[in-house]
Amino acid sequence: MVEYKFLTPEQRQHFLEHGWLLVPGSIPKEHVDRWMKDVWTRLGYAPDDPSTWEEETIWMPRHRDMLTKEFSPAAYAAMCELVGGEERVEPLRNAYSGDQFIVNLGTEYWKDHDADPRTMPAWHIDGDWYQHFLDSGEGALVVIQVYTDILPRGGGTYVCEDGIAGICKFLYDRPEGSGNKPETGMYDHIKECKVFKQFTAKAGDTILMHAHLPHCVGKNHLRRLRVIANPHVTLKEPFNLNRANPEDYSLCEQVILRALDRSSIPEYRPTAPRAHWYPRNYVAKFSRVQGELERMSRDEVDSVYLKGDEEISVHNLRNGLGEEVLRSQRVVVA
């Protein structure tokens, strides 16, 4: 039976009904401040001059990280209970939280234009490093760690709450698995959905989302700096959708069962290997490392890329990258 020592009954019910949960104030301020102090330097933009903001959304590389259970103990406790207990969590892959920020600066156009979430591009579920199945546990939870206050219309992530059922049905009907790109048809149902939410939050909050909750980048109509990080929770094993004791189902597993109006799914069996590969966004993120290091203070910079091959190898292992990638990770800082 899954034990709940952190999540209240109300929080558990909210996750079951909406597919996400806010854990307020769960990142200590000193962690937020330490990693945010050089964000504008890393970006290479002037904070008070939007004319220098060349990109609307920026996916930044990771220089520094900490074990999530030490970085954000409250959020970690919630993560563990949502997936059925710490014993189900993979202890290495995605076990660390880092400063791989996603920055949303908006554009001048969106200051006075609205966006219909039903027709917004780039609806997706996370997981660019594995083949998706109904029971996939590689990215069991999508984590949004909030580093700046996110106001209404301020670039918060959009979620489609009533879109979970369509994702679950799509994956149930494809035991051979699927990629997560739009051309698969996985998100075609979203234009018919009705329950959309754009997140607002305070710096230091954490939002935990079910793996099958479709979401997309929200438009930043305010042009205020919005910074989040987006790690994941990886399980040792896939979700079990046919447990002998119903009390052993995790909340994540219950979300899938509710979406399909089932109490168990004994017939579901993947018919293809659980393929894995390097994260697709790795190359784009790493391409920014050299420039960021050159702009950051050489005396103060704390980056895994300046700590030698051994540290980089450990970093790669935690992030699903093999030893052969090491050869391409050479950086030079004067």
Contact between 158 and 196 (Cβ < 8 Å): yes
pLDDT at 67 over 90: yes
Q: Do residues 245 and 294 both lie within one domain?
A: no
CA distance 242 to 234: 20
Q: Give the CATH number, domain containing residue 75.
A: 2.60.120
The average pLDDT across 91-97 equals 92
The residue type at 32: V
Q: Do residues 174 and 210 both lie within one domain?
A: yes
Residue 104 inside a domain? The answer is yes
Q: Say how many C-beta atoms besides its own lie within 10 A of residue 202's C-beta.
A: 12
CA distance 59 to 274: 27
The average pLDDT across 45-65 equals 96
Q: Do residues 246 and 319 both lie within one domain?
A: no
Domain with 23 in it: 9-259
Q: Say how many C-beta atoms besides its own lie within 10 A of residue 140's C-beta.
A: 27
Mean pLDDT of the chain, nearest integer: 93
The average pLDDT across 130-154 equals 98
More confident residue, 324 or 158: 158
Q: Do residues 53 and 196 both lie within one domain?
A: yes
Q: Do residues 290 and 157 both lie within one domain?
A: no
pLDDT at 192 over 70: yes
Unique residue bearing structure tokens 């997981």: 127
Residue 274 inside a domain? The answer is no
Residue 230 inside a domain? The answer is yes
Q: Do residues 160 and 299 both lie within one domain?
A: no
Q: Do residues 224 and 288 both lie within one domain?
A: no
Determine the pLDDT at residue 298. Answer: 60
Q: Do residues 161 and 293 both lie within one domain?
A: no
More confident residue, 20 or 302: 20
Q: Do residues 178 and 296 both lie within one domain?
A: no
* pTM above threshold 0.85: yes
Q: Say how many C-beta atoms besides its own lie within 10 A of residue 331's C-beta.
A: 15
The average pLDDT across 179-185 equals 95
Residue 266 inside a domain? The answer is no
More confident residue, 301 or 63: 63
CA distance 300 to 60: 19
pLDDT at 324 over 80: no
